[in-house]
């Protein structure tokens, strides 16, 4: 009895210590190709007779976006698994790596070829969804793979894209649209789709953003001699008005709108500004009608004007 136990122990040790010396390699993967955005079963064939010595296997591919799961040991020389190829996986031949419980690794170069398919649906990044106070010429950015030939960007006034403001093809993001196309205070919707030699992706999610209610534009190249805040025009106004300012030197500047109680209703500018002549555009559709004051603050300077908003 004791001799039988010793023999069993020696046999287990022999298996553990000597399986690394057995001849085994990956001979083929069937099927040996698959397209992006697909999942399918594969059979991995080995050239030796030792795979059933392990209780489990893991399979890897030398590519981000190609994964294998549900690995099953069929017999000494056969494994099966399910492969998933992501929409953004790199096309071309991939190396396969099979790893057993004993930390042995079996390789085969050019084992599985990833085939180009429809481009991945773009994932929107900028402007953020439901964002406020965006510039009139915002930067549009999205994420997609490098196999798209071009992208179609659409910006509309409605979520059904009936009133389309921008409909253009671009090669690569990011894209900054020209100023003065989008209106101050307006809400816009945007989406993107990708095209390659195979076809066209689905449209991305629809995101929206709102343009800020204040715009500022530098006019002319003459450097003013002094600070000045001009009377807004038109005045009275509803709901849009312009305010001209002079800035003789670079430095801090703050311009804000106050109500009759001295409460700040909206800050039109607060920060460092270069010298020059500027036009501030204020769009106030959400502000109640009444009398307001616009105050301008700079180093050793302050001035105010009275504005009348009619509703």
Residue 260 has pLDDT above 80, yes or no: yes
Write the DSSP assignment of 28-40 as a string of letters: EEES-EEESSEEE
Please give the angle made by the CA atoms of 271, 262 and 295, to the nearest 5 degrees.
40
Residue 1 has pLDDT above 60, yes or no: no
Dist CA 300 CA 209 (whole Å): 38
Task: Provide the H-helix boundaries in the chain.
Answer: 2-18
What domains are defined for the chain?
Answer: 2-115 (2.60.40.10), 123-211 (2.60.40.10), 214-309 (2.60.40.1930)
pLDDT category, 14, cuts 50, 70, 90? very low
Burial of 266 (0-12, 13-18, 19+ CB in 10 A): middle
As given in the structure block, the two tokens for residue 170 are 């671009």
pLDDT of residue 177: 87
pLDDT tens sequence across 95-143: 999 999 998 999 999 999 999 999 999 999 999 999 998 988 899 999 9
- Which own/partner pairs from 299-305 qualify as long-range (CB within 8 Å, at least 24 positions apart)? 299/251, 299/252, 301/227, 303/227, 303/228, 303/229, 304/229, 305/229, 305/230, 305/231, 305/232, 305/243
Dist CA 39 CA 20 (whole Å): 32
| Of residues 151, 149, 278, 132, the one with CA closest to residue 209 | 132
Dist CA 69 CA 81 (whole Å): 6
Q: How far is CA 18 from CA 11, 51, 224, in A?
A: 10, 13, 89
pLDDT of residue 16: 46
Question: Higher pLDDT residue, 177 or 95?
Answer: 95
Dist CA 143 CA 173 (whole Å): 8
Terminal Cα-to-Cα distance of the chain (whole angstroms): 104
pLDDT tens sequence across 290-310: 999 999 999 989 999 999 999
Question: Average pLDDT, stretch 49-65?
Answer: 91
Element (H, E) at 279: strand 276-283
pLDDT category, 50, cuts 50, 70, 90? confident
Dist CA 260 CA 269 (whole Å): 20
pLDDT of residue 23: 59
| Of residues 184, 187, 177, 133, the one with CA closest to residue 156 | 187
């Amino acid at each position: 009895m004791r001799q039988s136990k010793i023999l069993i122990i020696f046999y287990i040790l022999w298996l553990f210590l000597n399986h690394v010396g057995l001849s085994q390699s990956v001979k083929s993967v069937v099927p040996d190709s698959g397209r992006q955005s697909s999942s399918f079963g594969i059979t991995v064939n080995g050239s030796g007779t030792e795979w059933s010595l392990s209780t489990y296997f893991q399979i890897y591919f030398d590519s981000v976006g190609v994964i294998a799961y549900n690995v099953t040991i069929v017999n000494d020389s056969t494994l099966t698994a399910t492969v998933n190829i992501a929409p953004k996986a790199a096309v071309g031949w991939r190396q396969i790596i099979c790893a057993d419980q004993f930390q042995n690794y079996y390789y085969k170069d050019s084992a599985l070829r990833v085939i180009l398919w429809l481009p991945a649906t773009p994932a929107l990044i900028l402007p953020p969804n439901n964002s406020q106070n965006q510039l009139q010429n915002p930067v549009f950015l999205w994420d997609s793979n490098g196999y798209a030939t071009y992208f179609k960007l659409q910006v509309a006034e409605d979520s059904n894209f009936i009133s389309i403001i921008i409909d253009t093809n671009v090669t690569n993001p990011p894209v900054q649209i020209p100023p003065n196309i989008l209106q101050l205070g307006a809400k816009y919707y945007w989406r993107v789709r990708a095209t390659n030699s195979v076809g066209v992706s689905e449209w991305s999610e629809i995101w929206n953003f709102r343009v800020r209610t204040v715009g500022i534009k530098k006019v002319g190249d003459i450097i003013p001699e002094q600070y000045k805040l001009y009377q807004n025009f038109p005045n009275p106004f509803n709901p849009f008005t312009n305010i001209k300012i002079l800035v003789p030197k670079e430095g801090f500047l703050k311009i804000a709108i106050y109500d009759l109680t001295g409460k700040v209703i909206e800050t039109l500018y607060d920060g460092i500004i270069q010298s020059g002549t500027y036009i501030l555009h204020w769009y106030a559709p959400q502000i109640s009608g009444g009398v307001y004051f616009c105050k301008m603050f700079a180093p050793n300077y302050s001035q105010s004007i009275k504005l009348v908003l009619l509703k």
